[in-house]
């Protein structure tokens, strides 16, 4: 068996542009569209890369974007509450996190050291976050920790599946 990589694909992440920055309760987040794990290959992992574009801002103590991942066993049922906080769907949409905690799996942090730039994460493996097994569907959620009053202007979620052939 040989280890192979699929061509890089992208998940819709237009909701990133409407993500308000850190507010007083730090509950604002945005989720990219869900991705269904390939069934035509023996997928053992998926490498994810997230990019965010920041407008001009005055750097403060918090200049980062947290990246989370959530999984679904069927592409329909997602973790989170059924009320107003953490209502997660397969859609590319804004999400309100719980003020106390969340059911998201931390994937990494993108440090945005200077204003007005594009910042990209390292490739982040997903399978290890799910106990070594890829879920049927997954999606990336970001939480903006940039200074108050600043919104991200855009972003992308790119991924490559790793499989044995």
CA distance 162 to 71: 17
CA distance 25 to 81: 17
CA distance 126 to 132: 8
Residue 158 token pair: 């790119």
Q: What is the model's pLDDT at position 24?
A: 39
Q: What is the model's pLDDT at position 91?
A: 76
Secondary structure (H, E, C), the chain: CCEEECCCEEECCHHHHHCCCCCCCCCEEEECCCEECCCCCEEEEEEEEEEEECCCCCCCCCCEEEEEEEEECCCCCCCCCCCCCCCCCCCCEEEECCCCCCCCEEEEEEECCCCCCEEECCCEECHHHHCCCCCCEEEEEEEECCCCCCCCCEEEEEEEEEEEC
Q: pTM for the whole thing?
A: 0.84
Domain ranges across the chain: 3-164
Q: Check if the beta carbon of residue 50 is closer than 8 Å to that of residue 142.
A: yes
Q: What is the model's pLDDT at position 124?
A: 95
Domain 3-164 has CATH 2.60.40: no
| Ranges in the chain, pLDDT < 50 | 20-25
Q: What is the model's pLDDT at position 29?
A: 67
pLDDT tens digits for range 108-138: 999 888 777 888 999 999 999 999 999 988 8
**Going by C-beta distance under 8 Å and a sequence separation of 6 or more, which residues neighbour residue 55?**
115, 116, 150, 151, 152, 153
């Amino acid at each position: 068996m040989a280890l192979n990589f699929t061509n890089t694909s992208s998940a819709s992440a237009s909701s990133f542009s409407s993500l308000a920055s850190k507010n007083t309760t730090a509950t604002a987040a945005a989720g990219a569209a869900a991705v269904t794990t390939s069934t035509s290959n023996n997928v053992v992992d998926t490498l994810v890369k997230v990019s965010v574009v920041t407008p001009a801002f005055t750097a403060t103590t918090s200049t980062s974007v947290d990246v989370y991942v959530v999984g679904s066993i069927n592409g329909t049922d997602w973790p989170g509450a059924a009320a107003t906080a953490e209502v997660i769907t397969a859609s590319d949409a804004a999400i309100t996190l719980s003020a106390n905690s969340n059911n998201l799996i931390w994937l990494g942090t993108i440090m945005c050291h200077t204003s007005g730039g594009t910042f990209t994460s390292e490739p982040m493996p997903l399978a290890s976050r799910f106990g070594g097994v890829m879920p049927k569907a997954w999606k990336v959620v970001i939480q903006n920790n940039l200074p108050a009053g600043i919104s991200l202007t855009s972003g992308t979620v790119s991924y490559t599946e790793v499989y044995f052939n």
